[in-house]
Structure 1
């Protein structure tokens, strides 16, 4: 079955949704131990959260890239996630979605969150023909994320390494069975407002240096 090009896919429960980030052990390990981000975690920078596990693996190289050795599964409230969607602006100007470029720039400057759609990845981290959501949090959204939305933080680095080993040996069926189960997220109107019109829109694929 053909996948819709812009759909939020995530592991979620009735009250929470799991997003992924990767940090150095100096940040990631205390976050796991304490269930919250440590003092060294920078609140004055934009931080990007990803509901897609495989997109996170692509970004951090299965937890092998410098400064991204600790992969975190951050369970946050669905109320917080949907607040982020409601208050977001697309990260790039899209004709037909925004009245004009100047209006988009004003919206982007005011918005505490931004939405970016990047090609989803398969187990070999190759791009798929549909896209995966990233949410960039800044200002008020960063504070809410750290202090209000976060329910639990888990270290999924061992899972990343195990999956990488299986993929490297060509054992894709075994790797698939270990993947987090990600289903279309029922975000409703919040999600629809943040999708570029049509399926031929060229969305940005570069990401900010903050993980």
Structure 2
């Protein structure tokens, strides 16, 4: 489902840590950017893999469409020329959030001290980053956007949780052209609302803190 970005963004929180995403009762849509070889394999086989894809590296998953557009420069950055929309089981997504470790100490109250955080971060296969969200024009916002990095056994769980993969590059480029032409009010984006999580996840990821606390 698509909606005008200007209408959606008017209803989103201006600051704080929130997961803005498109989701159903059972799935959440996340985004990844790859080159055409990896993207083609993913669509054909409905999974990530192939000779050009590394299963041992950490892969980063983003549920926020606008933030993915900022990171990939609307599918123009090198090796990010194709945008994949990946429907993922919400049970897998929630489990990843619950086991993730924030990338900066002070961004979460889940750790007794910095030593405990360091130990968990070193051993964790799931990394959580809260980065400044951005507008369609690339302007930095006070609101934070989440990205989740997974590797090793959690990469396997992520792949098992994938329901559907779609290459949305053509749509991305159409909307990116509107932005380039200054027609931001006409831009359509996936309909995103706040993805609610459990209190345990909120504490784990520092979503219960003021946005300035522990931020870089």
Matched with 1:141 is 154
Distance change >3 Å, CA 170–CA 95, structure 1 → 2: closer
Give the one of 131, 134, 139 matched to 1:121: 134
Determine whether 1:23 maps to 2:52: no
CA contact (8 A) 1:29 1:70 kept: no
CA contact (8 A) 1:85 1:190 kept: no
CA contact (8 A) 1:116 1:203 kept: no
Unaligned 5+ segments in structure 1 are 205-211
Determine whether 1:199 maps to 2:211: yes
CA offsets, 1:91-137, max 9 Å, x none?
Answer: 11117723222111111122221211011111102111100011111
Matched with 1:186 is 196
Number of residue pairs aligned between Structure 1 and Structure 2: 201
Cα-Cα RMSD: 1.6
CA offsets, 1:141-178, max 9 Å, x none?
Answer: 111111x1111111111111111110111111210xx1
Relative to the length of structure 1, the TM-score reads 0.89
Matched with 2:5 is none
CA contact (8 A) 2:70 2:136 kept: no
How many angstroms apart in 1 are the aligned matches of 2:107 and 2:157?
31
How many angstroms apart in 2 are the aligned matches of 1:52 and 1:96?
21
Distance change >3 Å, CA 189–CA 151, structure 1 → 2: same
Could you say what secondary structure the match of 1:144 adopts?
helix
How many angstroms apart in 1 are the aligned matches of 2:146 and 2:28?
13
Give the one of 102, 112, 115 matched to 2:125: 112
How far does residue 4 in structure 1 lie from its aligned partner after superposition?
4.5
Matched with 1:5 is 16
Relative to the length of structure 2, the TM-score reads 0.87
Matching of residues 148-167 of structure 1 within 5 Å? 148-167=160-179
How far does residue 183 in structure 1 lie from its aligned partner after superposition?
0.4
How many angstroms apart in 2 are the aligned matches of 1:96 and 1:134?
15
Between 136-145 and 1-10, the greater mean CA deviation after superposition: 1-10
In the TM superposition, structure 1's runs of 4+ consecutive aligned residues that sit over 3 Å from their partners are: 1-4
Between 111-120 and 82-91, the greater mean CA deviation after superposition: 111-120
Matched with 1:77 is 89
